[in-house]
Structure 1
Amino acid sequence: MPALLALAALVAGCAAESARGHARPADGGLVVSSSAAEDTPRQAEPALADLRPCELLGPVDRSTVGLTELGTEKTVGDAPACDWTEPGVFGLLVSVDAGTGLAGIDPGSGTTEEVELGAHKALLVADRAADDGTCALLIGVGDPAEDSATVQIDVSNTDFTDTDSACRRARIAGELIEPKLP
């Protein structure tokens, strides 16, 4: 009986500690007391090197864009990337290019439209005259003065038509990804 009372006291003590925010959760993480949490500044922005393209679109984001499949990690040049394919409809590729800023983008035969996307400058690149069903949204990331990095969102419609819908989809993906960028 004394052992049972000691166990009950221990459980009650842990519950009290947990309520005050001092106990560790079962997974070993640290719980911060509410007064300490109020004094703690917001978490720092992610570093460019920490961005994982396949993690930039979560399940709800993917659904919003029209994707039902998980992305596949790739490398495009030296840039980490994630490739999503919605069979028979479109493909979407997100890459993090730490070596090319917005000023270094060559739109080829496409036209470039400057757009504001949250706190970031961006370029929408498409060849609307060709109406080839492709569009790219390039988001400047990192230090704007250096203009040295971009997150690139490329959309290609499977039937290679309707560039406007590809650009709408690229914009939606960009609006979902932009708040997660440095």
Structure 2
Amino acid sequence: MGERMDTPGRAMAGGLLLFFLAACGQQSTPPAAVGHTSASATTAPPAPPVAWTGLAALDPCTLLSPQDRSTAGISVLGKPKDIGGARACDWSVPGTFGVTVTLSETDGLADLEVAKKNATKTTVGRHPGLKVADKKAADGTCAVLLGVGDGASVQIDVSNTAFSDTPLACRRAGTVAGLVEPKLP
């Protein structure tokens, strides 16, 4: 009798494994279509753009794990913020520097207002970006802006507490961008 009970369970597990393996490369079928026939899957509405759903699912305060924070020299927990309707998280290390990570689901890299003279094109992982710092002002601030698809972006802003050492602020922003980028869609 024990063999009869295992056989359907094994068949079901094997079938689910095959389903997941077969579905791995398909991005057009929304998760709600699981279990529906292929005829009903074709009438399902198209999935929203990946960048939109991906950023919407992220909590900016969870983008830096405890290990990531240690790597970046951040010894405090992040505090959620709203910056002009965009979700953000702020980490302020007393007497040292602050980092803000902002998720913009409506502004792509090209939509962000950046002074061209202060921006340098860069790539972080698989995301195009801009490093923004006013070298003449030497105010200890720097930002790394990452494009996520055409219509979304992630902004990493660093401000040194003493408002000096812009190259250090840019190194810090680059470190945080490198830690956040792999978690982005």
**TM-score range relative to shorter protein:** 0.7 to 0.9
Question: Whose helix fraction is larger, Structure 1's or Structure 2's?
Answer: 2
TM-score of the superposed pair, with normalisation by structure 2: 0.73
- Whether the 8 Å CA contact 1:83–1:93 is kept in 2: the answer is yes
What is the deviation of 1:109?
8.2
Aligned counterparts of 2:87 and 2:183: Cα–Cα separation in 1: 16
In 2, distance between residues paired with 1:51 and 1:58? 13
Is the 1:109–1:127 contact (alpha carbons within 8 Å) kept by the matching residues of 2?
no
User: Which AA in structure 2 matches 1:57?
Assistant: L
| Structure 2, unpaired ranges of 5+ | 1-5, 28-49
Q: Which amino acid is 1:150 matched to? A: S
Q: 2:154 aligns with which of 151, 161, 165?
A: 151
- 2:58 corresponding residue in structure 1: 51
Stretches of structure 1 lacking an aligned partner (at least 5 in a row): 1-16, 23-31
Letter in 2 for 1:36: L
After TM superposition, which residue ranges in structure 1, 4 or more long, deviate above 6 angstroms? none
Q: Which amino acid aligns with 1:181?
A: L
2:67 to 60, 68, 82: 60
The count of residues paired between Structure 1 and Structure 2 equals 154
CA distance in structure 2 between the partners assigned to 1:116 and 1:136 by the alignment: 13
Q: Percent identity?
A: 48
TM-score normalised over the length of structure 1: 0.74
**Equivalent position of 1:172 in the other structure:** 175
Query: Match of 1:74, as an amino acid?
Result: K
**Does the CA-based 8 Å contact 1:91-1:155 persist in structure 2?**
yes
Aligned in 2, Cα 1:109/1:120: closer, same or farther, shift over 3 Å? Answer: closer
Distance 1:177 1:99 in 2: 19
> How far apart, CA to CA, are the structure 2 residues paired with 1:106 and 1:112?
11
Question: Relative to structure 1, is the Cα distance of residues 170 and 128 closer, same or farther in structure 2, using a 3 angstrom cutoff?
Answer: same
SS in 1 for 2:135: coil
Instruction: Compute the RMSD of aligned alpha carbons.
Output: 2.9
CA displacement at 1:48 relative to structure 2: 1.7
Work out whether residues 110 and 128 of structure 1, in 8 Å CA contact, stay in contact via their aligned partners in 2: no
Distance (Å, rounded) in 2 between the aligned partners of 1:79 and 1:106: 15
Rg: which structure is higher? 1
Cα distance, 1:106 vs. partner?
A: 1.9
The equivalent position to 2:94 in structure 1, one of 72, 83, 87, is 87
What SS does structure 1 have at the residue aligned with 2:120? strand
Corresponding residue SS for 2:164:
coil
